[in-house]
Structures are given as C-alpha cells and as structure tokens.
Structure 1
Amino acid sequence: MARRSKIYEGKAKDLFAGPEPETLIQYFKDDAACRTPEKTGTINGKGVLNNLISEHLMGLLHEIGIPTHLIRRINMREQLVRQVETIPVRVIVRNISAGSLVSRLGIPEGTLLPRSIVEYCYKSEELGCPVISEEHITAFGWASPQDIDDFLAMALRINDYLGGLFRGIGIKLVDLNLEFGRIYDENGEMRIVLIDEISPDSCRLWDIKDGRKLDLDRFRQDLGGMEEAYQEVARRLGVLPEGGVKELSL
C-alpha cells in the first residue's frame, strides 16, 4: 500500500492510483463512521464484507443494463474501478421512513411511504451533506437537467431491482444512498455511471420477519452486533463462505 499514490482518503474507503490509465484501486476499510452524532469506530471484517457485497450487487446491476465504474474485484479488500468525473450529489431513494426523514418531518420510523421518494444531498462531509433541490444542482453546475433525468431514472430502476432482490432473501430495502459519475469515451461522448458502493454502509436493510436492522444503523444507534448483521446480509446473498469472515484472507 505504501508504494501507491493515494488519491482520496475517506471514512470507509481509500482510493489509489490504478495500474492502468484512467483506473483506480478502491480499498475497503474496517472503519465505521457517522455524522449525527459524530462518531468513529472499527468493525473487524467490515471492509471485506462490503467489498464482496458491493461487487456482487454491482455485477447484478450491470447484467440488467446499469453501467457502473466497477471493472473487477482484485482481492478481499480491493476493487479495480474506472476513474470518473464525480457528480457531487448523493441520490437517496426512500421506501420506508427512517433516519433523517424521521427527524426532519416527524414521520414515525417504519412508516411505509406512499411511493418511493427521491432526495438529493450535496456531497460535502464538512457541511453534513445537506439536502438540496434540483434547482441547486443545475444552478451551481453540478449536473445538467439531462444528467438529472439520467441518474434519477437509474436510481429508481436500481431501487426497484434491489427491492425485489432483497425481498427474495427476507430483507426490506428501507432506503439506499447512491452516487454517480461521468465517463467519456474516445469520441468525447459522456455517459452517467453508478459509482462508490452498494452495501449495508449505504443501504438501510431490515429483516422482514423481526425488523432487525442489518446495516450501519447498528453502529449509529449503538445496537451492537454489527459484524454479525453484515455477515448475515452477505450469507443471504450467497457471497460469504460457510466459515465466515475468518475463512477469508484479510
């Protein structure tokens, strides 16, 4: 790791220069963090699990025509990804009331929303990723109206597909946090692609039978059992060996 050029250091992932032009290595860490309240910690094996889960889900989305930045998984903690022009907007699709929707609007946690609601946040950890509107996005040049149409359509399709996938393994997809970027081909043509990760760090996942939380809220709310919850998601998706994380090369 020391010989690589670090491009970005995040709370849960680091990015390094890739082995080929216009590629990056995305490294998944065991660090856990949340903004409200500000807290950090380390969960053994979380990076490995998120890497496996995200690779699996990104691969399935690619099969249904969702373009992503993922090229391939390199090892248990690293992915080779395409370098993109990041759109500084997080797209949140909500199906059930949870998180900030509860505190901002007073809707009781667990309320089934009348339809999936899409919200946008400005991607700035320093500012706490504030909620923004399409007017902000276009006025400040973060994305064009066509870009918004493209990633909105992709976000709703991703939500629909993953909602059915998780329902089939006994999990409710409460909400998901998506990020997108731009890739340009040799002719200068641009397309929007899904980036970052899809994992229990970026989705709220509840067990259908007992409502047990299987995501980062276990850390946010000091519920404990976070490693076991992430392993349960990976097991149901079929990406965790029978021996668990200890069987994997960390």
Structure 2
Amino acid sequence: PHITRARGRDPEIDEYTPRLPPTDHWIQPHGEEGIIAEIDELLRREFCHIHRQQLASCRPAMLQLMLNGSSGLRRFHENVATLTRFNRPADRDVAGPVEAECADIARRLRAMRGDDDAKFDELARLLEELREDPTVTRAVMFTHFIPTYSYLRNRLEALPMFRSGVRLICAGPNDDDETLEGVNSRLEREEGFAVLLTTDRMSESVDLHAANCVINYDLPYNPQDLQQRIGRVDRIIQQADVIHV
C-alpha cells in the first residue's frame, strides 16, 4: 500500500514556507582512517550498533568514553535510553583485555590528532556563515547523543561569536518539561542571530517557529526522525521566507 502525505499549508492562502535544498558538508580525513576503522571494528565486535553511531556523530566524545573504560561505555548506553524509543540490547562487561584495547586505540588516535576536530571546525565556519546570512533568523542544532551534546556545548561556549553578543541557548536532556516548553519564547526574544543546541528530546511535539534553520550535527537512523526535526521550525505560523536545512 502507498501513503500520500501533503506538507502543511496555511488554510487561508494555501501556501507553505519553501525549504531550500539541504546543504551537505563533507569532512576530509587527515590520515586517521586506519585507526577509525580499527575503532569501528572493535565497537562492532564487542558493543552495540549504537556505539558505532556515536563514533560517527562525534569522534572526540566517543574517544573520551573509550578512555573512561567500561563505566563510561555503560553509562553512555543507559543515557541513550532517555533519547530513543527503541530498546537496545545490554552491553557486555568490557573489563579486562577489551577495556585495555579501547584505551590503547583511543590514546593512539589522540596522539595522532590531538584535540583537532575537523567536523567541529566546519560547524564553526558554518555558524559564522549563517550569522552573516540575512535570510537566517535563528538556528536549531540537533544531535541524538548526550555525549555529543555535552561536547558541543563546551566547545560552542568557547567560540568567540558566543562571547561577543550571539546568544547560545542550550536545552539538554536534564532540563524539565517547563524549561523546554519556554525555549521558543526565549528564541523569539532574541533580536539578532541566535543558536539553540538541543537533543532529539525536542524533535517531537515542540514548536520552534522562531527559528528558520535546522542544523543536523548527526543524522538519525530513521529518516522520519529527520523530518520530525525539520518539522519543529517548518510550522504553519512560520514567518520567515525560507527554511534552511
């Protein structure tokens, strides 16, 4: 069977806010492909697929989990349960040789790349570009993973643009429902460009029409979840001329 779905239109003028074609940003590797493949194979062999998704989302955050050993990896698995409606199999105990292997690979990659993060550098460049774009009002940045959210919050708060007038609003997994419900009002009060950093906890049943730009720092496994993210800003009451994805 087929299902035909129509995008929401204004009931009075039968129009909707056009979306600009999504922009992809490709990050070139810098010689670490071999170690990344080694990490991916280790995660495939010893852990859940969700750990491999975290590696793809944010390499530095995944390396820190690996350096933290079994406790860090188990804690990550427990936190993921707060962001997903799918049940994940429990991790095995990674103490012993596997834990040592995790730490060894993570240290080798950190020694090779240090604190360099090409993906975050590209994000910082993109934010400066959006800041200068007159068609962008405010931006909402989504990630699925709590470690990625924590990493981005620390890195973004240190950027010069957020220390010189641009507002960074963070809505994390530990915020209560009342706080999250007031996020759109906080965005509306910002006169200039502002950025909301959040997780997929806000990707459903939340109105964020004060923004007209969605940044997907990582991509959900389910394409419908991606549409849910975009739907937070693609509202009937959206006042912007275009929506950026």
TM over 0.5: no
Q: Greater helix share, 1 or 2?
A: 2
Higher relative contact order (CA 8 A, sep 6+): 2
Give the strand-richer structure, 1 or 2. Answer: 1
